[in-house]
Structure 1
Amino acid sequence: MEADLHIIGIDHIQIAMPPGEEDKARAFYEGLLGLREVPKPTHLGARGGCWFEGDGVKIHLGVEADFVPARKAHPGLLVDDLSQLAARLEGAGYSTITDQPLDGFNRRYVNDPFGNRLELMEQR
């Protein structure tokens, strides 16, 4: 292995979703989490799914025919007001689970409309 080769960042994360559920994805990721939907490249659009972006984060939801939610593996999303976001999610019917603080962070978990686990982290 060459010493000068290394990973320099993450461009995006991809999360699976069931076919035909793009409206649910939009309502959650755009409507509740506040990310904006961005167009998929034309050659990928026919596959279904949605792409979302915010400051410093890109989440791609890709359609998986035999979809199974990610219940343990998850992205950790940095948020600026965890209690306000949790209240918004809970008001929309999404339960949040408070977890033990991690060094410098308060955390909660929520499942997206498809059962994928997301960790919401606010710096203390």
Structure 2
Amino acid sequence: MLDLIRLDHLLIIIPPGSKKAARKFYAEILLLKEVPGGHPRGAIWFEMADIQIHLREEEGHKTTSDRHPAFVVAKLEAAINFLKQRAIQVSYSSEINGRERCFFRDPWGNRYELIEYKEK
């Protein structure tokens, strides 16, 4: 038995030479808190709710994938407005009963989903 407790972090890949722009996007635009420190392989880390996002430069980055982490938000409409105010394009997908959701991508094409669960 694995006895899993929770998700700790996600590693997101960005193209080489993108660290400065990634700091701007994740810290200044999304307003995430950077976790200071000399992280392995030159990664930069940010806190998103109780999960960390680790960003690392890596060759071969692709932007066409629909793979993504999904984060639950308290108020989806407020989150959408927050993103749109920062000129971040929001997209939508198929409906899922009992949830509202949207997607956005970082400047390197990494996809994120935001979900609000609706009361029954």
**What interval of TM-score do these two structures reach, taking the shorter chain for normalisation?**
0.7 to 0.9
What is residue 90 of structure 2 aligned with on the other side?
A: 96
SS class of match (2:109): coil
Unaligned stretches of 5+ in structure 1?
none
What is residue 54 of structure 1 aligned with on the other side?
A: 48
What is residue 7 of structure 2 aligned with on the other side?
A: 10
Following TM superposition, by how much is the alpha carbon of 1:93 offset from its aligned partner in structure 2, in angstroms? 2.1
Matches within 5 A, 1:1-124: 4-40=1-37, 42=38, 44=40, 47-69=41-63, 71-124=65-118
Identity %: 36
The answer on whether the counterparts of 2:7 and 2:51 sit within 8 Å (CA) in structure 1 is: no
Distance 1:22 1:80, change over 3 A: farther
TM-score under structure 1 length normalisation: 0.79
Following TM superposition, by how much is the alpha carbon of 1:23 offset from its aligned partner in structure 2, in angstroms? 2.8
Query: Matches of 1:103 and 1:81 in 2, distance apart?
Result: 17
Distance 1:86 1:117, change over 3 A: same
The answer on whether the counterparts of 2:19 and 2:57 sit within 8 Å (CA) in structure 1 is: no
The size of the alignment, in residue pairs, is 118
> Deviation per CA, 1:48-92, whole angstroms, max 9, x where unpaired?
342111332211111112221362110001222222221222232
Distance 1:82 1:122, change over 3 A: same
Unaligned stretches of 5+ in structure 2?
none
